A and B are shown apart, each in its own frame.
Chain A
Amino acid sequence: MAERREAFKMLFSANSAKVETNKGDAYYDKLFKQCRARLDELKATQPLQAIDFQEILSDEGYDRREFMKWASAATAMLMLPPMFTPLVAEAAELMTRVPVIWLELQDCAGNSEALLRSDGPKIDEILLDIISLEFHETLMMAAGHQAEAQLHDAMETFKGKYLLFVEGSIPMGMEGQYGTVGASGETFHEHLLRVAADAAAIVAVGSCATYGGVPAAAPNPTGAVGVMDVISGKPIINIPACPANPANMVGVILHFVLTGQIPELDSLLRPKFAFGYRIHDNCERRAHFDAGEYVEEWGDEGAKNNFCLYKVGCKGPMTFNNCSIIRYNDAVNWPIGVGRGCIGCSEPDFWDKYAYERPMADANIKAPTGGVEKTVDEFGLGVLTATAIGIGIHAAASAVAGKKSDEGEAQ
């Protein structure tokens, strides 16, 4: 915890908060050459899966033109200039060459669902299907000792090269005994440390793996923490949100394939291309916020007219994520688009501090003793009431028994 705070503090430097969308021609020319070299190098290696990407695309009903449209959108999402589009397209085709190990810890498997699920897969999801997923406890056929042998194999074969995706928080309470995995009864913590040791980089997917998420919500019975709380000395990329947007997973992998490096991160180790902007500033209902037009209750006239959801608890003004821009399911829709507020799922402590569907003034907060929950305003009015009672008692006592300074002396 202390270490995390140190890192947190250090990373909150002024630079980290800035999103530089244009770094100049010289920078991009150099990066282009680097990426070209990196892709050529990858091309020379054997694909880990015998898959023809173009064939899969056409099987799913996507033609080349649609793929290139996707590639330019992905380039823009990564905040790269248009000249990188052909490279991004190439990188997508080379994603079969990136070994990925996926660990699932204390969570609901929602990010695995996000990785897999779609009714009619979009290009993002197809790409996630063709990455070389060497190990994924939830999805793989093998179990028990066979699964462990598989993990061991993958770790040996791709030592130092694999991307480690982690989903779920790490329970640290009761010496980690809240979660064990495999026949050996290894705790989640030990399991993560062992697999992380030889990873090229770690991608914490979802809010649980990033900050502890829902399992870490008060009173956090299992002592759940995020990956960055327990791992040090490895590049860590956080893709929070509940679940993480598959587009951002693709973005991170694409960036890794393209450059061999992790993307530029913000103070919470989140890629800036995805978490550099506030939801609120790109929200289609923003005009209603400024106008003071709010949905007062679900289904009222305001709701029918797409008014701002701030009063029913939208946390867009305090949440950094790109879902107001790229949305979900190939930009079909997103929470605010369907008429319910943002719950700030990509921010630390979101379950306790964001997801209560009321404005912050009506949010329950804990007393300093950890006891009774009251809203911020109830606390505040309590303070004022106590002050008023104190003043009242003193004023009454003064009126009855107070002594004015010149009384007595004047007579």
Chain B
Amino acid sequence: MKPGYKQITRMTPAMRTVHWINVVSVLAAVITGLYIAHPYYQSLIADPALDKYVMAWNRWIHLIGAIMIDVTSIIVVYLYFFSRFDKPYKKLIPNRANVQEFFEVIYNLVTLNRRKMFDSTHSDSFNVVYFTIMHLMLLFMLFTGLQLYVQGLASGQSSIGAWWPWLLHLSTDWTLWVFGSKMGVRIAHHMTMWWIIAWVMFHVYYQVWRTIFWQEGDIAIAFGGSKFKKETKSE
């Protein structure tokens, strides 16, 4: 390690695992979801229909990706409150310190790092708010997506029992009420995908930007779990 720098752990192995599962799952869900919404390539395979399951495989990958995100979402919600490492919810409480830090991070971004008046060793409140938006969007996709899924279980039965469609109706039928119709839910589900992609674009950009301008190796957090901070007296 470069002398004069200290190493700070920011993501535990569990957090990094969740992060990369989410990356792969969201990517898979977007690629297959675009196909489900509007099949954009043709399956020119000289086989009868019963041998090629192009839409069926797309849906399968989409649903597996969705299930993985659903599971990580539950873990993330748990860690927000009960993590032994950092409890992100503490940064969401709109107290004076958090609000001040939130705006300081934005000033840092818009002044192109000419002003940096917050401690960048820990996860700042802007970061936590930004990630919470993502997790809320993923939860929204979970509820709307499961509503679209349960429409295929019209018989009220499933291979794992009647409790499954029952639970899905119980937990997701409110989306029909909110969006007025099945198609309303579908449009909301599709539109949210675009917001998630926009979120990812800024997220990747911002992490690269921090790495370049803060000079603290932030991009390494997602891989090695830690970043570096120059040891100075000024902070």
Contact = CB atoms under 8 A, between A and B. Distances in A.
Q: Of B38, B42, B213, which is in contact with the most chain A CB atoms at under 10 Å from its CB?
A: B38
Interface string A362-390: 11010000000000110111011011101
B202 A387 contact: yes
Contacts of B34: 361
Interface in A276-302: 276-278, 280-281, 287-294, 296
Interface stretch (B6-14, B122-130, B135-143, B149-157): B149-157
Given A290-B56, A291-B55, A384-B201, A353 B38 contact: no
A404 interface: yes
A267 interface: yes
B173 interface: yes
B183 A403 contact: no
Interface stretch (B64-72, B83-91, B92-100, B189-197): B189-197
A387 B184 CA distance: 25
Contacts of B156: 17-20
Interface string A382-409: 0110111011001101100111111000
A403 B187 contact: no
Contact of A398 (B187, B194, B209): B209
Given A18-B166, A384-B201, A391-B202, A292 B43 contact: yes
A347 B181 CA distance: 7
B119 to A, nearest CB: 13
Given A292-B39, A398-B112, A349 B177 contact: no
A354 B182 CA distance: 10
Nearest to B232: A409
A315 B176 CA distance: 17
Q: Of B150, B162, B190, B197, which is in contact with the most chain A CB atoms at under 10 Å from its CB?
A: B190
A347 B154 contact: no
Contacts of B180: 348-349, 353
The secondary structure that dominates the B interface is helix
B187 A353 contact: yes
B19 interface: no
Interface residues of B, number: 60
The secondary structure that dominates the A interface is helix
A20 B156 CA distance: 8
A17 B173 contact: yes
A30 interface: no
A293 B201 contact: no
B112 A387 contact: no
A405 B181 contact: no
B216 interface: yes
Nearest to B198: A387
B174 interface: yes
Nearest to B195: A383
Nearest to B110: A394
A291 B183 contact: no
Contacts of A191: none
B116 A292 contact: no
B53 A278 contact: no
A361 B38 contact: yes
B79 to A, nearest CB: 28
Nearest to A20: B156
Contacts of B176: 12, 267
B177 A9 contact: yes
B198 A383 contact: yes
Nearest to B43: A292
Q: Sorted from nearest, which 9 A-B pairs have the closest CB atoms?
A: A292-B54, A380-B194, A18-B156, A292-B43, A361-B37, A353-B183, A291-B49, A12-B173, A361-B38
23 contacts: A14-B167, A14-B170, A18-B162, A278-B151, A278-B154, A281-B152, A292-B43, A311-B39, A315-B183, A318-B186, A349-B180, A349-B183, A353-B184, A361-B37, A361-B190, A376-B37, A380-B194, A384-B194, A394-B209, A397-B112, A398-B212, A402-B112, A404-B212
